[in-house]
């Protein structure tokens, strides 16, 4: 659940935003001034901030500088619709700029986009004796580099993501080779054989009779 801080001095609008955020599964926290927002920031740890420009004690632009220092994604949500304000907000580093009035569904869609853009997958993940660097797209087994083709790499990630679950050959084709792939499920069998050998997963990748495969962890 992502935390979203709403910095908006109009209580009715703030309450409406909060209600929609909670319906969408987010956890919202309200602040009605710049000073109150700074106090909330110390304990709430938001993943995104919705920021009004016209606050009673300061301009949102002023508060924006503090939010940038904390590397927080910001969406301006304001009645100020001049081009100069929009440009200023975006140039300061805001991820989006929405002018009131707005549709709740549009706001939620833009929030989803900003959160997705700012949520970086960890560069290095580990699965048992494997170290996977997603930025380098490299795999090391007990510290030794393992050469995988692009599809073998994607298949390995899929199996790890769904470990201990059976995946049908058709589902694997769909997720690794996409819907448009016209090949036969035999392609999956061949690639499974290759990564079994390369990663030492001969016993770990189980064949599910007349269905597909399942990667079992050793835990």
* Mean pLDDT within 126-132: 90
Q: What is the mean pLDDT of the chain?
A: 89
pLDDT tier, 117 (very low <50, low <70, confident <90, very high otherwise): confident
- What does the pLDDT read at residue 28? 93
pLDDT above 70 for 46: yes
For residue 196, give every residue at least 6 positions away whose Cβ sits within 8 Å of its Cβ, in sequence order, or none: 202, 204, 205
Residue written as token pair 């050469």: 147
User: What region, left, alpha or beta, does residue 124 occupy, with left being phi > 0 and alpha being psi -120 to 50 degrees?
Assistant: beta
Structural domains of the chain ordered from first start: 3-118 (3.40.50.2300), 124-215 (1.10.10.10)
Here the tokens at position 177 are 């080779």
* Mean pLDDT within 115-121: 75
pLDDT tier, 45 (very low <50, low <70, confident <90, very high otherwise): confident
Q: How many CA atoms lie within 13 A of 200 on its CB side?
A: 12
- What does the pLDDT read at residue 180? 53
* Mean pLDDT within 171-178: 80
* Mean pLDDT within 18-25: 91
Please check whether residue 195 is in contact with residue 148, taking contact to mean a CB–CB distance below 8 angstroms.
yes
For residue 39, give every residue at least 6 positions away whose Cβ sits within 8 Å of its Cβ, in sequence order, or none: 31
Distances (CA, A) of 1 to 39, 115, 161, 209: 22, 11, 20, 38
pLDDT tier, 42 (very low <50, low <70, confident <90, very high otherwise): confident
pLDDT tens, residue by residue, 56-114: 999 999 999 888 878 889 999 999 989 999 888 888 888 999 999 989 999 999 999 89
pLDDT tens, residue by residue, 132-173: 987 778 999 999 999 999 889 989 999 998 899 999 998 888
Percent with pLDDT over 70 in the chain: 95
* Mean pLDDT within 22-45: 90
- What does the pLDDT read at residue 219? 65
């Amino acid at each position: 659940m992502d935390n979203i801080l709403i910095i908006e001095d109009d209580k009715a609008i703030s309450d409406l935003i909060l209600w929609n955020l909670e319906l969408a599964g987010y956890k919202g926290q309200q602040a009605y001034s710049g000073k109150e927002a700074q106090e909330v920031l110390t304990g709430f740890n938001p993943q995104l901030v919705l920021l009004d420009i016209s606050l009673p004690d300061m301009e949102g632009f002023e508060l924006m500088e503090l939010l940038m220092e904390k590397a927080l994604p910001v969406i301006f949500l304001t009645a100020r619709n001049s081009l100069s304000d929009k440009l200023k907000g975006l140039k300061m580093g805001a991820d989006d700029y929405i002018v009131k009035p707005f549709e709740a569904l549009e706001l939620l869609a833009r929030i989803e986009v900003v959160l997705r853009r700012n949520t970086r997958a960890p560069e290095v993940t580990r699965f048992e004796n494997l170290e996977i660097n997603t930025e380098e797209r490299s795999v090391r087994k007990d510290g030794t580099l393992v050469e995988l083709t692009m599809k073998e790499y994607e298949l390995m990630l899929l199996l790890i993501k769904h470990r201990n679950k059976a995946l049908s050959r058709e589902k694997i084709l769909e997720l690794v080779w996409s819907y448009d792939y016209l090949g036969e499920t035999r392609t999956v069998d061949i690639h499974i054989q290759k990564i079994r050998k390369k990663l030492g997963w001969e016993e770990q990748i189980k064949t599910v009779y007349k269905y597909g495969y399942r990667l079992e962890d050793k835990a």
